[in-house]
């Protein structure tokens, strides 16, 4: 059987609907809201060091290329 995929937006909407309907207290609402948001944060992996180095390298190469083009067009 396939596991149900976690949908934080749907969970937050359902939680807010319960709170607005008076089914749960404000304290319970806040605690469960923080738990959902913490789970979302836990799922978001930080960018790896290698990927950061690659992004910086690409940015430097593009910047260097643009500078070369600008100076060539300026009369170099």
What digits encode the pLDDT tens for the residues 2-50?
A: 566 778 889 999 999 999 999 999 999 999 999 988 888 776 777 788 8
Q: Reduced to 3 states, what is the DSSP secondary structure of residue 4?
A: coil
pTM of the complete model beyond 0.75? no
User: In this predicted structure, what is the pLDDT of residue 76?
Assistant: 60
Alpha carbons 55 and 23: distance in angstroms, whole number: 48
The closest of 50, 34, 43 to 7, measured between CA atoms, is 43
Q: Are 11 and 36 in contact (CB under 8 A)?
A: yes
Give one DSSP letter per residue of 41-52, joined into a string: HHHSPPPPHHHH
Tokens of 56: 């910086």
């Amino acid at each position: 059987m396939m596991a149900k995929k976690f949908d934080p937006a749907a969970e937050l909407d359902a939680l807010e609907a319960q709170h607005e309907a008076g089914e749960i207290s404000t304290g319970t609402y806040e605690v469960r809201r923080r738990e959902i948001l913490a789970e979302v944060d836990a799922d978001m992996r930080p960018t790896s060091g290698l990927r950061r180095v690659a992004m910086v390298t690409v940015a430097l190469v593009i910047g260097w290329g643009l500078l070369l083009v600008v100076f060539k067009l300026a009369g170099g």
